[in-house]
Chains A and B, each alone.
Chain A
């Protein structure tokens, strides 16, 4: 797992593609230039912070098509759209689909670099979150079913006594389970447990 980011520039216009790649590289960003959305879909997903700089209108699958294809595949990769001519309804659609930005050609270097930087930051963030979630999930998997019940009630703010009443077990037993949970989940406090449990929620139920 590498932390060096990569930016994919996808545009059917070769000279434009080259110019934008050049600009990004001048800012020290690693760039991969592709001529079509299909090319991107065909390559394996890179396990590193990444961002797409994507032309809206291209032969074959358009930029918008690629955005929906990625969403469907569950690939969370930030997209900066570029367009030759601004079209309000397309830009709205793109932004609603989670795009980082929607740039009209020709754009200034700071606009592009700013957007790409934000895209990469978002990618890093989601990668971190992904890693953390994986760790929490791994620890959660080690809990017994009784321990999971106790954890479920602990994060609602119940006292041991209340938990015992709820589960029909002795308060003392609750205390032991609780100790195991904290230990296994590697949590320092109840607040940390709550944060971890929130990460465990399935992604689609997030607000």
Chain B
């Protein structure tokens, strides 16, 4: 009974063990041993390692401790070395429970399998980057991610990009990996299209390879297989080698590992060690969670993607539209537009805005200049008209004043002639004298008549005039003048006045004369009390009125009629014909003009003109 019960207890213990483990599971850290055959800084190793660690750490509920072994195996296998290494590792990991082993690349997988019994007999193995897994006899608890080397896919994409290719130069270094990859490449290229000539540059120093590539013919492409060391024994990475070769190569270089991307290869169907790391990490997580995975779970899917370097495509003048569908294009240099879009938009907006501003200013300037030029011309016209009408008024007055006595002289002579008895012989001389007086009187008046006719030439041009517009124009001419005289001007212009049919310049003369008279009349008035008001209205349809009001010295009641007579002036300067001219013009337009004393101070001159249908 006792041994049985002891067995029973043991059996119970054994049965309880997994449960016990499971219960303990949550807090216990998981130990993962990572085994790499290659040197630590190999880009492929760096990518895969980082991706694997990140994937596992992120996905595991328990803390994970990574132990990494870079086996650094000698170029040729050495049983002694391996034995000693195995002993060393056994000592190193003796007290550690390894939950999982990750092996990267075939040689590491081989070592993991070889050392397994000494290191961690129960830990499942996950591998990555192994292209020969199908040829290995794997135990049931080994799984991983298969590596596909897409030599042919890459070659085909190269041929699509460069249809004229006749020969392919395959470059590889001298390391074990280089040789292994080269062998795979050779095997793959055996199935290449028949017209292609393959040249293998191996077992050469890097410089020699570079020299060869510098003299290649057109129609050639280069395949960089792997280049971890050259025949001179230099330790390199494929990236180092590529960067040197790209400097001199006359033709494009292709490769199949993503680690080369960005260092000079055009591209290809690239092994992505990062993806390898992620996929292996996912398998590792499943194993850590207690799933049983074996060779049947090996990820065989080709995770390699077509990737190309836009800069190389551009450099060699290749066409992007010939790339395999779904290709990833790296290092596409963003166009200036893509990179500086907002800057450019902002700049353009600024330039546009500035241009608009400049254009607006130019237009404004041009307009102002034109307006100024027009104003000068207009002022000239007005001044000329003023002179001509002054002369006209002068001669008209002269004609009136002289023709009056001339008329009397002639009429008297005529009367005398009729009173003299023509039959009386001694009256002959008298009659002749009277006749001469009459003739000379007529002659004198003829001189004046001719002068008037001359000054009347090109007289009046009647158009429909907007009187308000004429007023605004005249006042704007006088603006500076009025301001200097300390006169404040107010315009009260009735909108929608009917047009006056008349001579715009003559009407402006009237307004000008009246405004200037008003200004003169206010010369001796105290500052601040000089006010000119110009008002328009249409008191009855068909008649419009302009009223020009000042706050000046005014005119005596008895003189109101006389101020419109020529040569009547209250001013020390001036001919005294301004108002007389104004009256002539207004009357010629069928209007009237009159002056009225303001109730307070100053004078109002009212001009009535027929307008609209009335004119």
Q: Is the CB of B411 within 8 A of A23?
A: yes
Minimum CB–CB distance for A156 against chain B, Å: 40
B391-406, CB < 8 A from A: 396, 399-401, 403-406
Contact: A16 with B407, CB < 8 Å?
Answer: yes
Q: Given the complex of chains A and B, what is the CA–CA distance between A13 and B401 in angstroms?
A: 10
Q: B90 in the interface, Cβ–Cβ < 8 Å? A: no
Binds A, one of B123-131, B412-420, B471-479: B412-420
Select the residue from A15, A104, A105, A108 with max chain B CB neighbours within 10 A: A105
Q: Is the CB of B404 within 8 A of A13?
A: yes
Choose among A15, A85, A109 the residue that contacts B403 (Cβ–Cβ < 8 A).
A85
Which of A15, A27, A85, A108 is the one whose CB lies under 8 Å from B408? A15
Q: How far is the CB of A137 from chain B (nearest CB, A)?
A: 38
Within 8 Å by CB of B409, from A27, A82, A106, A109, lies A106
Given contacts A22-B411, A23-B418, contact A105 B561 (CB under 8 A): no
- Tell whether A179 is near chain B: CB-to-CB under 8 Å: no
Q: Is A26 an interface residue (CB 8 A)?
A: yes
Bound Cα distance A59, B563 (Å): 12
Q: A13-B404, A85-B403, A89-B588 are in contact. Are A108 and B396 (CB under 8 A)?
A: no
Identify which of residues 433-464 in chain B touch chain A, using a CB-to-CB cut-off of 8 Å. 438, 441-442, 445, 449, 452
| B408–A16 touching, CB < 8 Å | yes
User: A13 — nearest CB in chain B belongs to which residue?
Assistant: B404
Check if A13 sits within 8 Å of B399, measured CB to CB.
no
Q: Which residues of B contact A1 (CB under 8 A)?
A: none
Given contacts A13-B404, A16-B404, contact A107 B410 (CB under 8 A): yes
Complex CA gap A116/B153 in Å reads 131
B415 partner residues in chain A, CB cutoff 8 A: 19, 22-23, 25-26, 109
Q: B564 to nearest A CB, angstroms?
A: 10
Best-buried of A25, A84, A107, A108 by chain B (most CB within 10 Å)? A84
Query: Which residues of B are found within 8 Å of A19, using beta-carbon distances?
Result: 407-412, 415
Q: Mark A81-105, 1 if CB is under 8 A from B, else 0.
A: 0101110010000000000000011
- The CA of A82 and the CA of B408, in the complex, are separated in Å by 12
CB-contact partner of B407 in A22, A59, A86, A107, under 8 A: A107
A13 touches B442 (CB 8 A): no
Q: Chain B nearest CB: distance from A124 CB in Å?
A: 23
A137 to B449, CA, bound (A): 51
Task: Say whether B411 contacts A84, CB under 8 Å.
Answer: no
Contact B452 A106 (CB under 8 A): no
B438's closest neighbor in chain A, by CB?
A: A108
In the complex, whether A48 has a CB less than 8 A from a CB of chain B is no
Rounded to whole angstroms, the CA-CA distance of A23 and B396 in the bound complex is 26
**Binary B-proximity of A38-54 (CB < 8 A = 1, otherwise 0):** 00000000000000000
Known A23-B414, A108-B438, A109-B418: A57·B408 in contact at CB below 8 Å: no
Say if the beta carbon of A20 comes within 8 Å of chain B: yes
Q: Which residue of B lies closest to A59 (CB)?
A: B561
Which residues from A are CB-within-8-Å of B408?
Answer: 13, 15-16, 18-20
Output the least CB separation between A68 and chain B (Å).
13
Name the CB-closest residue of A to B417.
A109
Mask, B572-589, CB within 8 Å of A = 1, is 000000000000000010
- Complex CA gap A16/B216 in Å reads 128
The verdict on A84 contacting B400 (CB below 8 Å), with A16-B405, A22-B415, A23-B418 known, is: yes
Provide the B114-147 mask, 1 if CB < 8 A to any CB of A, else 0. Answer: 0000000000000000000000000000000000
A146 to B: closest C-beta gap in Å: 48
With known contacts A19-B415, A26-B419, A85-B452, A108–B404 Cβ distance under 8 A: no
Cβ-defined contact, A106 with B407, below 8 A:
yes
Contact check: which of B401, B404, B418, B445 meets A26 at CB < 8 Å?
Answer: B418
- Residues in chain B near residue A107, CB distance under 8 A: 407, 410-411
With A and B bound together, what is the CA distance between A114 and B62 in angstroms?
A: 144
| Cα(A64)–Cα(B563), bound, Å | 21
B588: A residues at CB distance < 8 A: 89
Chain A contacts of B400 at CB under 8 A? 57, 84-85
Given A22-B415, A27-B418, A85-B452, A108-B561 contact (CB < 8 Å): no
Question: In the complex the two chains form, what is the Cα distance from A82 to B403 in whole Å?
Answer: 11
Across the interface, name the chain A residue whose C-beta is closest to B419: A26
Within 8 A of A (CB), among B328-360: none
Interface pair A108/B399, CB less than 8 Å apart: no
Cβ–Cβ contact B399 & A106, under 8 A: no
* Nearest chain B residue, comparing its CB with the CB of A62: B587
Beta-carbon nearest neighbor of A55 in chain B:
B404
A109 and B404 within 8 A (CB) = no
For A11-34 the 0/1 string (1 means CB < 8 A from B) is 001011011101101110000000
A-B contact pairs, 20 of them (CB 8 A): A15-B408, A16-B404, A16-B407, A16-B411, A18-B408, A20-B407, A22-B411, A26-B414, A26-B418, A27-B418, A57-B400, A82-B407, A84-B401, A84-B404, A106-B406, A106-B407, A106-B409, A106-B442, A109-B411, A109-B417
Taking A19-B409, A108-B438, A109-B418 as given, write out 8 further A-B residue pairs in contact, using a Cβ cutoff of 8 Å, ordered by the A residue number.
Answer: A13-B404, A16-B408, A19-B408, A19-B410, A84-B400, A104-B445, A105-B445, A106-B442
Q: Which 6 A-B pairs have the closest CB atoms?
A: A105-B407, A84-B400, A109-B414, A106-B410, A19-B411, A26-B418
